[in-house]
Structure 1
């Protein structure tokens, strides 16, 4: 069973976004981009590196460069239970 994004964030995962620049297989002078997003753990970024290895093994377009950022969306101290609601009209 796959975990939901909220469950992953509560375990410390953050959203990793990578912009991948690669060369076109038939036109080596042409660069193209691909954007990849996944919940991953910093600083190891295991899922990102697995995707890069997959790319190098399975996709013909050679990598030129990769730019990535990682953002923790929620931390353990930021999660709180709300026990009531007050509405003001």
Structure 2
């Protein structure tokens, strides 16, 4: 069975979340590797991201070092408005 479409997810309140995951290499713990995860998720609890990170801890050997999250509900372009003035610095 096919999952919900992008539009269906957006109508349910989901929006795109991107996580940069830094993890330690299984054979060389002093080296960090980057993995980028992207999916539609619900802010602020992020159940899909939490499920993915739980899967990672359970199934993969490289321990997670840091997770950096970017989500449209955290920063939105609509929050910034042009004030009608322009300042120039030389």
What is the TM-score with the length of structure 1 in the denominator? 0.77
Post-superposition Cα deviations, 1:9-59, rounded to whole Å, max 9, x if no partner, equal 111101010000000000011000000001000011000000000000000
Q: CA RMSD in A?
A: 0.9
Q: Which has the higher contact order (CA 8 A, sep 6+)?
A: 1
Q: Which runs of 4+ in 1 moved over 3 A?
A: none
Residue pairs, 1:48-67, within 5 angstroms: 48-67=49-68
TM-superposed CA distance for 1:68, in Å, is: 0.6
- Where structure 1 has 5 or more consecutive residues not aligned to the other structure, the ranges are 73-89
- Where structure 2 has 5 or more consecutive residues not aligned to the other structure, the ranges are 74-90
